[in-house]
Amino acid sequence: MNLLQKILAHRTLVLHPDYKGLESFMHSLPERFASGEGEVVYKGRNELRKFTVNGVDMVVKSFRRPNIINRFVYGIFRPSKAKRSYEHAMKYIEIGVGTPFPVGYLNVRRGLLFDRSYYVTLASECLHVYNDLFYQDFDYADEVLREVGRVTAKLHHHGYAHKDYGRGNILFLKTDSGIKIDIVDLNRMDVGPLDLRAGCKNMERLPATPHMHRLIAEEYAKARGFDVEECYQLLRTYRSSQPGKINGLY
């Protein structure tokens, strides 16, 4: 990198106070991804890799470089997806909703143009995703669904609507104290009051059989003081308009 490139390449780092010792690691993320370091967890539009530093397991999400217009917008006006993910995670933790603990984020800008951003969390303890409920046999599946209803109700009560609330973004684990839920992919979130209809519509991307919808509706409605049957019917109605149902069941 020549002198001009060094001047134009600007990195903004935010670290949780508990992880100040990871500053060097965080600043090195672009180079680590470029050289292929870390264990690839997922690779698509964005990329997730797992790293272990000083005995701490972390997952790093590298957001793809935006198009040229958005590179200007993110460079000047809008917060990066990594920043939004970090700030939303902190809000989840404040209200007692599980999400992998946010370590920090790094924004990389070149001149006035945004380049890339990286969001870092501790690795989640949860071993399964919601979608596994359809392909594996869990003798505690009903407990998971009830906890999904309760957690979703807590989010909505505080006015938070996850905009990608789908089968791959809800993680779960059975523990001695009950079901642990972690919600991931937090960069897109609406904030504002959610009534029964808005709350049920926010769950339309969650596949479910009638039995599954019934359990989610019972816990969600109970937690928010809504009518269970109306909640159940709304969940079924909103879900029925979504693509990807298998044999018409979910």
Q: pLDDT tens digits, residue range 223-243?
A: 999 999 999 999 999 999 877
| Residue count (the chain) | 250
pLDDT at position 3, please? 45
pLDDT at position 28, please? 96
Phi-psi region of 83 (alpha: psi -120 to 50; beta: other; left: phi over 0): alpha
One domain, residues 101 and 201: no
Q: Which residues of the chain have pLDDT under 70?
A: 1-9, 66-77, 244-250
Question: Could you write out the DSSP letters of every residue in 144-200?
Answer: HHHHHHHHHHHHHHTTEEETT-STTSEEEEEETTEEEEEE---S-EEES---HHHHH
- Which residues are CB-neighbours of 237 under 8 A, at least 6 positions away? none
What is the distance between the alpha carbons of residues 196 and 194, in angstroms, rounded to a whole number? 7
The verdict on residue 232 lying in a domain is yes
pTM of the complete model: 0.89
One domain, residues 79 and 138: no
Helix runs in the chain, H state only: 3-8, 23-27, 29-34, 68-76, 81-94, 141-157, 196-202, 210-224, 228-240
pLDDT at position 76, please? 57
Instruction: Count structural domains, the chain.
Output: 2
The verdict on residue 230 lying in a domain is yes
Closest CA to 30 of 130, 110, 88, 86: 110
pLDDT at position 133, please? 98
One domain, residues 11 and 91: yes
One domain, residues 132 and 94: no
pLDDT at position 79, please? 82
Instruction: Classify 58 as helix, strand or coil.
Output: strand
pLDDT at position 6, please? 46
Determine the structural domain holding residue 58 and report its residue range: 3-122
